[in-house]
């Protein structure tokens, strides 16, 4: 406020600050934090300039910690970059690759009801997050009874996950000749 031309006495009265405190603050040397922030700003600007202005806070932080060996937190880099109005370029969106795996013919034609057991089995894999990591569960359902007839759980999504579930279904039921096992496109 005083820098904008407002008298110091009036500004101190509005902010409930003693004038002596203001003058002491103004003549005080910069703190260790202010000195480190000024030095880090120079380092951040150097990394950002070396990247031709493309690096954002994540990459600048990685360069500072991994390449230069500086002990600096990610939040501090974000804060200093925001204060200095240093921004990286937004990431490029890459198109997701299309699966070129041939799709099997839909033998059930989206009709999932059957009049007898063990004629149509449907299967799917679900992913579940746990404290120890991801767990995948493959399930086989009989569409007639709508019951789970086979299942398998594993920490990786492999062919063994599905074959174990189908093996359990075959062991639990006596499939009719020509039983159809239907799955979604992703499996």
Same domain, 12 and 79: yes
Domain boundaries, position 143: 120-183
Cα–Cα distance list, 172 to 19, 94, 125, 151, 169 (Å): 87, 46, 19, 11, 5
- pLDDT tens readout for residues 92-126: 777 777 767 666 777 776 777 777 778 888 888 89
- Shared-domain flag, residues 67 and 133: no
pLDDT in tens, 128-184: 998 988 999 999 988 888 889 999 999 988 889 988 998 898 887 776 677 777 777
**CA–CA separation, 138 vs 135, rounded Å?**
10
Contacts made by residues 49-53, CB under 8 angstroms, sequence distance 24+: 51/88, 53/88, 53/89
Residues 10 and 59 placed together within one structural domain of the fold:
yes
pLDDT of residue 185: 63
> Model confidence at 187, in pLDDT bands (50, 70, 90)?
very low
pTM equals: 0.44
Q: Which residue has the higher pLDDT, 99 or 87?
A: 87
8 lies in the same domain as 78:
yes
Q: How many domains does the chain have?
A: 2
The answer to the question of residue 88 being in a domain is no
């Amino acid at each position: 406020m005083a820098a904008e031309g407002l008298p110091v006495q009036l500004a101190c009265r509005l902010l409930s600050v003693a004038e002596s405190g203001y003058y002491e603050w103004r003549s005080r040397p910069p703190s260790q934090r202010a000195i480190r922030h000024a030095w880090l700003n120079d380092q951040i600007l150097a990394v950002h300039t070396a990247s031709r202005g493309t690096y954002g806070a994540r990459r600048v932080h990685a360069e500072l910690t991994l390449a230069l060996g500086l002990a600096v937190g990610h939040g501090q880099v974000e804060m200093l970059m925001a204060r200095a109005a240093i921004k990286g370029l937004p990431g490029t969106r890459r198109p997701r690759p299309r699966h070129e795996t041939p799709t099997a013919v839909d033998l059930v034609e989206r009709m999932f009801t059957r009049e007898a057991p063990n004629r149509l089995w449907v299967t799917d894999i679900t992913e579940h997050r746990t404290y120890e990591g991801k767990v995948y569960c493959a399930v086989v359902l009989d569409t007639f009874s709508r019951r789970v007839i086979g299942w398998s759980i594993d920490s990786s999504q492999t062919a063994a996950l599905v074959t174990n579930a189908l093996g359990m279904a075959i062991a639990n039921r006596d499939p009719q000749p020509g039983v159809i096992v239907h799955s979604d496109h992703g499996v």
